């Protein structure tokens, strides 16, 4: 297995809007991030993934770009950005920019031109049809075809109508995009997180999707289009290879049997990707706002399936939450009775699976989902559109929708970082753009830094452990007791060592004696070192052992 920096690195995802506000306007910004780089360096992360920082009307909080080579006004200036890259590099942290290539904002000059007339040179930078050629639905609800009166035609938008899909069939479009990407690489950026990249090649015969199965439509109709690999190999030649830039793909619509087509080392397309199977695990037939129960055995099977698919050929980004999903501690842990233990257990899972882990901002503090008291508190276009869709379907139960949004809504991950127990959790001196989670007086960085046993310091120790034991990066992954609904256990092994990870996803003790080989050494855990490593796991206990071969 080739040893490379991006396999050994740990990524930290920053959602700039909610990370740190430096000028009191209630919106996070680049100077705010710079003021927290020492905190991130102390935590021990290697790469910062910044969610989009480009000019945007913020219909989808930056995932709707109106100028690919300008900084969003609310986030600061180009000088701020150049300082951020310099300051991150000075602290040995790399910078990945989240770039959205599947669609632009409808306020991008290209789209303003394109919509203005049928013979405008930019007309074919987007997809126009005289009538909707199919009944595709947007990720954000409603038809994916929007009528535009100026030329009495319809344009495609897989997300909101303010996010028209770019036409990658057009070589001029592709050339311009590569120019934009090189603009940022010339400023020292180390790579990109590529938003919904499997969607960029459209099936231009416009086949129908599956009315009753949106995620199958995503997999089989929206994603993995006929020219996607041609485009990515071109992007690799034009952008990634010349700069040795990292290409991290958001793998919406990917399956285990298609992933190596994107990240196989010989493919010269992307280096690493993250998938969604475990992130969609509790999405019911009605999607995100139709939450259903999930089982640990299913959760574990997903990790094994993907580990086998990636094999020795590819590489994967391990993500347990991000700005699009509820907080992992509330979703996969126990954020009430075993808040600290389960937060540390999930940190152990995240940092000992095979792949490059990504810590989402605030996970290191044990941040949780918020309590939502009314719909006016929600900010996310996906939630607000879904509520309107409920009402159109005759469903007016506000409380029921609020409960669904409280479980699976994206706003849960977008409440401000909790820095202190002062006003607005120290995120802003003003009024934050979205409410602060009311547990900030108990859960905040200042308190965590001062407590040697905090979740924050556990993350620091886990990050140091990963660095000290490369087998936790490169070793094989062998799951144990896969059918068990309480224990998540696996071995990591290679010529340099063998490790056993035991995670008790439950509030009762769990016997592990027969899983522990005779020669073993306890390395780390979320409880005090057990008198013997073979004693039963305590509730939500994580135990990492080095074991003899
Ligand atoms: O997960 C989803 C399906 O409900 C969506 O929340 C999400 O849109 C999807 O995962 C793709 O995400 C990416 O593209 C979107 C943007 O809203 C997300 O924030 C981004 O991560 C459109 O650019
Ligand atoms: Ca600000």
Q: Which atom of ligand 1 is nearest to the CA of 287?
A: 4
* 547 CA to centre of ligand 1 in angstroms: 41
Residues 434-486: pLDDT tens digits?
999 999 999 999 999 999 999 999 999 999 999 999 999 999 999 999 999 99
* Contact residues for 513 (Cβ-Cβ < 8 A; gap 6+): 534, 535, 536
State the residue for tokens 């706002």.
289
| Secondary structure element (H or E) that encloses residue 50, with its range | strand 47-50
Using pLDDT thresholds of 50, 70 and 90, give the confidence band for residue 533.
Answer: confident
pLDDT recorded at residue 62: 98
Question: Residue 2's pLDDT is what?
Answer: 78
Residue 133, pLDDT above cutoff 90: yes
Angle made by CA atoms 144, 147, 148, in degrees to the nearest 5? 130
> pTM of the predicted model, to two decimals?
0.98
Pick the atom of ligand 1 nearest to 323's CA: 19
pLDDT for 203 beyond 80:
yes
Question: Which numbered ligand comes closest to the C-alpha of 277?
Answer: 1
Task: Provide, rounded to the nearest whole percent, the portion of the chain with pLDDT above 70.
Answer: 100
Q: In the predicted model, is pLDDT for residue 200 greater than 80? A: yes
Candidate of 51, 142, 195 to mutate for ligand 1, largest count of ligand atoms within 8 Å of Cβ: 195
Residues with CB under 6 Å of ligand 1 are: 60, 63, 100, 139, 159, 195-196, 250, 252, 288, 323-324, 382, 410
Looking at the CA of 16, name the nearest ligand.
2
pLDDT for 135-178, tens place per residue? 999 999 999 999 999 999 999 999 999 999 999 999 999 999 99
- Region 406-413 average pLDDT: 98
Q: How far is the CA of 71 from the centre of ligand 2 (A)?
A: 13
Residue 444: predicted pLDDT: 98
Average pLDDT for residues 503-516, to the nearest whole number?
A: 97
pLDDT at residue 189 is higher than 90? yes
Q: Whose CA is nearest to atom 19 of ligand 1?
A: 324
**Summary mean pLDDT of the chain:** 97
Across 44-61, average pLDDT: 98
| Residue 158 alpha carbon, nearest atom of ligand 1 | 22
**Is the backbone of residue 333 left (phi > 0), alpha (psi -120 to 50) or beta?**
beta
User: How far lies 493's CA from each of 469, 477, 478, 501, 543, in Å?
Assistant: 11, 7, 8, 11, 16
User: What pLDDT shows up at residue 301?
Assistant: 98
| CA 305 / ligand 1 centre spacing (Å) | 23
- With cut-offs at 50, 70 and 90, classify the pLDDT of residue 281: very high
- From the list 195, 324, 340, 364, the catalytic residue is 195
Closest CA to 490 of 355, 368, 309, 354: 354
Distance 141 CA to ligand 1 centre (A): 12
Quickly tell me which residue has 């001029």 as its tokens.
172
Rg (CA), the chain: 23
**Alpha-carbon distance 118 to 385, whole Å?**
30
The answer, yes or no, to whether residue 91 has pLDDT greater than 90, is: yes
Write the pLDDT tens digit of every residue in 233-269: 999 999 999 999 999 999 999 999 999 999 999 999 9
Q: Give the tens place of pLDDT for each residue, 217-236.
A: 999 999 999 999 999 999 99
Instruction: Find tokens 């990870």 and name the residue.
Output: 501
Mark whether 494 is an active-site residue: no
Torsion angle (degrees, nearest 10) of CA 452, 457, 461, 467: -150
- Cα 457 to chain centroid, rounded: 23
195 catalytic? Reply is yes
Q: Give the residue, by CA position, lying nearest to ligand 1 atom 7.
A: 324
Residue 1 reports pLDDT greater than 90? no
Q: Closest by alpha carbon to 354, among 321, 389, 314? A: 314
Q: Residue 60: which pLDDT band, with cuts at 50, 70 and 90?
A: very high
Checking if the pLDDT of 549 tops 90, the result is: no
Nearest to 344 by CA among 516, 139, 352, 427: 352
φ, ψ of residue 522 in degrees (nearest 5): -70, 130
Nearest ligand (C-alpha, residue 276): 1
Q: Which atom of ligand 1 is nearest to the CA of 103?
A: 23
CA of 324 to the centre of ligand 1 (A): 6
């Amino acid at each position: 297995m080739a040893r490379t920096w991006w396999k050994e690195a740990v990524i930290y995802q920053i959602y700039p809007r909610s990370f740190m506000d430096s000028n009191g306007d209630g919106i996070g910004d680049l100077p705010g991030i710079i003021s927290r780089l020492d905190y991130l360096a102390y935590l021990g992360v290697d790469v910062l993934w910044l969610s989009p920082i480009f000019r945007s009307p913020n219909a989808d909080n930056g995932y709707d770009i109106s100028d690919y080579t300008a900084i969003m006004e609310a986030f600061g200036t180009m000088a701020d950005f150049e300082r951020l890259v310099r300051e991150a590099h000075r602290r040995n942290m790399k910078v990945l920019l989240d770039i959205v290539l599947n669609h632009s904002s409808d306020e991008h000059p290209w789209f303003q031109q394109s919509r203005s007339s049928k013979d405008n040179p930019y007309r074919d930078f987007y997809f126009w049809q005289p009538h909707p050629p199919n009944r595709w639905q947007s990720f954000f609800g409603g038809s994916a075809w929007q009528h535009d009166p100026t030329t009495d035609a319809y344009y495609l938008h897989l997300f909101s109508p303010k996010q028209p899909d770019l036409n990658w069939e057009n070589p001029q479009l592709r050339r311009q995009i590569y120019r934009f990407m090189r603009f940022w690489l010339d400023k020292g950026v180390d790579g990109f997180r590529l938003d919904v990249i499997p969607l960029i090649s459209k099936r231009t015969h416009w086949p129908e999707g599956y009315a009753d199965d949106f995620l199958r439509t995503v997999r089989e109709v929206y994603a993995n289009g006929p020219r996607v690999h041609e485009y990515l190999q071109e992007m690799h030649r034009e952008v990634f290879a010349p700069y040795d830039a990292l290409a991290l793909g958001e793998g919406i619509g990917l399956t285990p049997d298609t992933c190596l087509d994107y990240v196989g080392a010989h493919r010269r397309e992307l280096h690493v990707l993250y998938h969604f199977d475990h992130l969609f695990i509790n999405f019911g037939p009605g999607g995100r706002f139709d939450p259903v129960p999930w089982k640990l055995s299913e959760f574990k099977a997903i990790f094994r399936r993907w580990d086998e698919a990636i094999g020795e050929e590819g590489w994967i980004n391990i993500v347990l939450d991000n700005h699009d999903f509820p907080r992992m501690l509330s979703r996969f842990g126990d954020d009430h009775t075993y808040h600290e233990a389960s937060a540390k257990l999930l940190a152990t899972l995240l940092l000992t699976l095979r792949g490059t882990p990504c810590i989402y901002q605030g996970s290191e503090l044990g941040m949780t989902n918020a309590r939502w008291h009314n719909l006016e508190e929600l900010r996310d276009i996906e939630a607000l559109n879904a509520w309107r869709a409920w009402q159109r379907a005759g469903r007016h139960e506000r409380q029921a929708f609020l409960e669904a949004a409280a479980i699976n809504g994206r706003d849960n991950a977008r409440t401000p970082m909790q820095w202190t127990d002062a006003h607005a959790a120290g995120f802003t001196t003003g009024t934050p753009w979205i409410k602060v989670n009311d547990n900030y007086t108990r859960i905040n960085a200042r308190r965590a830094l001062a407590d040697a046993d905090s979740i924050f310091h556990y993350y620091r120790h886990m990050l140091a452990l990963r660095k000290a034991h490369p087998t936790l990066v490169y070793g094989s992954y062998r799951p144990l007791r896969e059918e068990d609904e309480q224990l998540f256990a696996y071995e990591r092994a290679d010529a340099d060592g063998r490790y056993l990870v035991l995670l008790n996803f439950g509030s009762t003790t769990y016997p592990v004696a027969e899983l522990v080989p005779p020669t073993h050494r306890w390395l780390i855990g979320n409880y005090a070192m057990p008198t013997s490593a073979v004693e039963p796991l305590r509730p939500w206990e994580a135990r990492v052992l080095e074991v003899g071969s």
